[in-house]
Amino acid sequence: ILVCLWGCTLLNWFGIRIYARISMYGVLLGTIFPTILLVILAGKYFLGGAVPALHYAGFSSLMPQLNSLNDWMLLAGMMVSLAGIDMTALHITDVKKPKRNYPLALLFSAVVIFASDIAGSLAIALVVPSGELGMASGASEAFTCLFAHLGLPEWNKPVLLLLSLGAITTVLVWLLGPVKGLWEVAREKRLPAFLAEKNAHGVPGNLLLLQSGAISVISLVIFFTPDISSAFWVFMALSAQMYMLMYLLMFAAAFALRLRRPELARPFAIPGGLWGVGAVTLLGSLSALAAMIAGFIPPSNIRALGTGPSILYACGIGAGTLCFASVAYFLLGKKARLPDTPASARDQNVNS
């Protein structure tokens, strides 16, 4: 964890150009290519007469089982896996012709993410029995099974290296986005002045180092969980709580700004006026709230240990959420000493 984290921190230190090139090839080689390969191999696997591990029992089998704690628990992880596309908005100033290119890139990304998630997850579920799936290792288990069945075990390690590249690319992409957001907070003097400083490559270096240091400390949780899957889920559930809380605030802010400042020019406006914004806000807020509640449900291996560990898990998730949210609350309470800018510029910042 630490080697990957600080390696990605070093790459981000040198700015958006290196970051963009590595992330582009990392996504292609480490995510899209393995997903396509997995689907092709799974198809060949079943055309050869293999029995699928997942059985279709009618349309009802495609629907989530709302009386299942496992299905509700997985909702939080699913929401986090689909969240984060908004993080790219922090790089919009680095995009050529953003009014045209950014929405197109967002639409293309959403289609690719949706299709690859469904195709890849279905291929894994058809190959590996659900009882043998690990939370953090489903794809690698599917490839191991497929290559062994096809008599190509030597192909397994190179593909697993590509999967690792895809995971590292995810870390690379995620590191710089929050830092650019925090830099805006530092620029408004809600953080110490040294955190607003940028290095020679235009990156908020001090904030980047502070963030990676905090993540390094948080990663020590792995020593207090029974196995890797449990540690993976604790990280996933905690990040779901923080992310969904951020979404609740973001939706509320979007609706409030549209209500209070309807006259502002908005190049990226939700259609339907105030009713359209209200509908999106309500749907998004309810989804985020459901994911937050689901995040308190412990995984099956912790529930199997009894009521005590399950309560301890829920309390740990709640305490972690309150701890991290309290930092933001403290910053919010500080009086912002904004730089002197014309009113029109401040309006444009609010609009952005």
Please give the model's pTM, rounded to 2 decimal places. Answer: 0.67
Is a pLDDT exceeding 80 seen at residue 207?
Answer: yes
- On whether the CB atoms of residues 327 and 241 are closer than 8 A, the answer is no
End-to-end CA distance of the chain: 35
Angle at the Cα of 24 (from 20 to 29), degrees rounded to 5? 150
Give the pLDDT of residue 209: 94
Residues of the chain above pLDDT 90, percent: 8
Number of H helices, E strands in the chain: 13, 0
* Average pLDDT in the chain: 80
CA dihedral over 88, 90, 95, 100, signed as positive or negative: positive
Q: Which residues contact 132 (CB under 8 A, 6 or more apart)?
A: 141
Q: What distance in Å separates the CA atoms of residue 262 and residue 273, rounded to the nearest whole number?
A: 9
User: Both tokens of residue 320?
Assistant: 């972690």
- On whether the CB atoms of residues 103 and 116 are closer than 8 A, the answer is no
- Pick from 35-39, 47-51, 70-74, 172-176: least confident: 70-74
Is a pLDDT exceeding 60 seen at residue 139?
Answer: yes
Give the pLDDT of residue 135: 60
Is a pLDDT exceeding 90 seen at residue 212?
Answer: yes
Q: What is the pLDDT of residues 269-309, one digit of tens each?
A: 777 888 988 999 999 899 888 888 888 888 777 788 888 88
Nearest CA to 191 out of 178, 207, 177 is that of: 207
Give the pLDDT of residue 189: 82
Burial of 108 (C-beta count, 10 Å sphere; 0-12/13-18/19+): exposed
Q: What is the pLDDT of residues 114-136, one digit of tens each?
A: 888 888 888 888 887 766 666 66
Q: What distance in Å separates the CA atoms of residue 73 and residue 233, rounded to the nearest whole number?
A: 10
Is a pLDDT exceeding 80 seen at residue 20?
Answer: no
Is a pLDDT exceeding 50 seen at residue 338?
Answer: no
